[in-house]
Amino acid sequence: MEREGGQPAAVVAVVTEPRFAQRYREYLEKEKLLNRQHRVKTMPDGTVALPVLGEALPEQHLRELRNRVAPGSTCTLAQLLDPVPSKKAQSCSPAQRLCLQVSRWVESQGVTWSAALEADLPRSWQRHGNLLLLSEDCFKAEQWKNLEPELWETVASALGVQRLAKRGRVSPDDTRTPAVTLLLGDDGWVEHVDNGIRYNFDITQCMFSFGNITEKLRVASLPCVGQVLVDLYAGIGYFTLPFLVHAAAAFVHACEWNPHAVLALRKNLELNGVLDRCQIHFGDNRKLKLSNIADRVNLGLIPSSEEGWPIACQVLRKDAGGILHIHQNVESSPGKILQPPGSSEMEEEHWPHPQQIITNRRGNGATRDSRRKGLSVATKPEWHRWAESAETCIATLLQQVHGKAWKTQILHIQLVKSYAPHVDHIVLDLECRPCPLVG
């Protein structure tokens, strides 16, 4: 625990002559009274101070030390205003340090420390600068409520931060508002840096997924120079910013309906120097008035972005088409992997020869180019089946929206992360091109 200003809190110590210090130490260890988190200190007058647990040492122990343990010794209590941490305290993990400091503070409040309380402490957390985000599965016991708000000051001090927040379930509303409660501090605004891009957001109002870093790195490397992109689910700029900052897209239309995310998005565009190359469209993207403008469309919504597929088809350029980046959570069986072309374990029925073109003529006139030249990494069969189903649906939508046949091709299937047991978050890169008119 620390005093205001970051200084260690004073600890109580038993003071005696050096020749009696070892006897005192053995007694205090036996009675489990010795504070092992701080070093024994030699006082200016030559006496020795042994740190003890709690805010005072009961009189019965003082009498025992004076009369039986070390007869004739001087036995007094003192406060060490600047206690030095022991080597053990300096080498313990953050979780161990948290347990030690919280348990000591709880007992100083007259509450008995128990194994149940220890099991209710957090074992992991997210650090956002000077704010720590705790998981929802900690501090659930009723005893904690009687110790607030000072409890949170102790937790923050133990973990070296100034602000604390606790995660809850994501609200089942359309904006997927995170149920995060601020426990300590004035606001929940934090900054996170990914691949040189600054993201500012209010952690109590906006979501941030560390697991999406692989996809943010991937889109940052895509060849987007001179291209116009529509990001249908922009959020705070998770993918909008990599497309602008690193992939050098000429312009991005960013759609978002969470007002808190829009506030953060505008701030992030300015922080990263790309505000002049982005237009924010606030509101329901299904009512978007844009059309015939995009070289690429990003559909970064899970578990499914299917409601955005019609508008994605609408905004693609009529003359040249473009590429859709479609996010989806796909249920899959464990351990069942398809190998890329050229592998001895390739299942031929799932991997047509890269030069073989199978064109399926549909009743609506749409065609599908089934080459899989971009599938260069191992995938699961469930990903492949979903991608083909999505391709079929998109081809039909393109026919309906534009009134003519389009050619679609699966370029790539990318695993982003494991979302849950047997549920994978993947991205389908789908190329969509209008078929030339036959004379």
Rounded to 5 degrees, φ, ψ at 425 are -90, 115
Mean pLDDT across 317-341: 80
Query: So what's the pLDDT on residue 373?
Result: 45
Nearest to 78 by CA among 149, 15, 170: 15
Query: So what's the pLDDT on residue 439?
Result: 53
Mean pLDDT across 67-72: 94
In whole angstroms, what is the distance from residue 262 CA to residue 412 CA?
30
Lowest-confidence range among 218-232, 291-305, 329-343? 329-343
For residue 136, CA distances in Å to 126, 167, 179, 182, 418 come to 12, 5, 10, 13, 20
Rounded to 5 degrees, φ, ψ at 53 are -80, 150
Mean pLDDT across 218-225: 96
Query: So what's the pLDDT on residue 124?
Result: 87
Query: So what's the pLDDT on residue 372?
Result: 45
Q: What is the pLDDT of residues 358-394, one digit of tens each?
A: 223 333 344 544 444 444 455 789 999 999 999 999 9
For residue 369, what are the β-bridge partners? 359
Q: What is the pLDDT of residues 105-135, one digit of tens each?
A: 999 888 999 999 999 999 889 888 889 999 9
Query: So what's the pLDDT on residue 250?
Result: 98
Query: So what's the pLDDT on residue 84?
Result: 84
Query: So what's the pLDDT on residue 89?
Result: 66
Q: What is the pLDDT of residues 9-46, one digit of tens each?
A: 578 899 999 999 999 999 999 888 888 878 899 999 99
For residue 107, what are the β-bridge partners? none
Query: So what's the pLDDT on residue 335?
Result: 57
Q: Are 422 and 333 in contact (CB under 8 A)?
A: yes
Amino acid type, 422: H
Res. 348: pLDDT tops 60 = no
Neighbours of 73 (CB within 10 A): 16
Task: Assign 3-class secondary structure to 318-373.
Answer: CCCCEEEEEEEEEECCCCCCECCCCCCCCCCCCCCCCCCCCECCCCCCCEEECCCC
Query: So what's the pLDDT on residue 347?
Result: 30
Mean pLDDT across 262-272: 97
For residue 1, CA distances in Å to 108, 119, 150 come to 12, 20, 11
Nearest to 133 by CA among 66, 101, 180, 171: 180
Q: What is the pLDDT of residues 384-424, one digit of tens each?
A: 999 999 999 999 999 999 999 999 999 999 999 888 888 99
Q: Are 152 and 144 in contact (CB under 8 A)?
A: no
pLDDT confidence band for 72 (50 / 70 / 90): very high
Query: So what's the pLDDT on residue 172?
Result: 57
In whole angstroms, what is the distance from residue 172 CA to residue 159 CA?
32
Res. 211: pLDDT tops 80 = no
171-176 long-range contacts (CB < 8 A, ≥24 apart) are 174/257, 175/257, 175/258, 175/261, 176/207, 176/258
Element counts in the chain: helices (H) and strands (E)? 11, 18
pLDDT confidence band for 436 (50 / 70 / 90): confident
Q: Are 260 and 206 in contact (CB under 8 A)?
A: yes
Query: So what's the pLDDT on residue 379?
Result: 76
Query: So what's the pLDDT on residue 8?
Result: 46
pLDDT confidence band for 299 (50 / 70 / 90): very high
β-pair type (163-167, 48-51): unpaired
Most confident of 146-150, 270-274, 365-369: 270-274
Question: pTM of the full predicted structure?
Answer: 0.69
Query: So what's the pLDDT on residue 33?
Result: 87
372, HSE (Cβ side, Cα atoms, 13 Å): 22
Q: What is the average pLDDT value for the chain, to the nearest integer?
A: 85
Nearest to 298 by CA among 140, 193, 156, 428: 428
Task: Give the relative orientation of helices 150-159 and 94-108 as an angle to the nearest 10 degrees.
Answer: 150
In whole angstroms, what is the distance from residue 125 CA to residue 130 CA?
13
Give residue for tokens 């699961």. 380
Rounded to 5 degrees, φ, ψ at 171 are -65, 140
Q: Please list, in sequence order, all residues whose beta carbon lies within 8 angstroms of the beta carbon of residue 313, skipping any fewer than 6 positions away.
A: 394, 397, 398, 401, 402, 432
Neighbour-count burial of 383, counting CB atoms closer than 10 A to its CB (0-12 exposed, 13-18 middle, 19+ buried): buried
Higher-scoring residue by pLDDT: 345, 238: 238
In whole angstroms, what is the distance from residue 422 CA to residue 315 CA?
34
In whole angstroms, what is the distance from residue 189 CA to residue 298 CA?
26
What strands, in cross-sheet order, belong to the sheet with 296-299?
A: 278-282, 251-256, 228-231, 296-299, 322-331, 423-434, 406-420, 367-368
pLDDT confidence band for 83 (50 / 70 / 90): confident
Res. 81: pLDDT tops 60 = yes
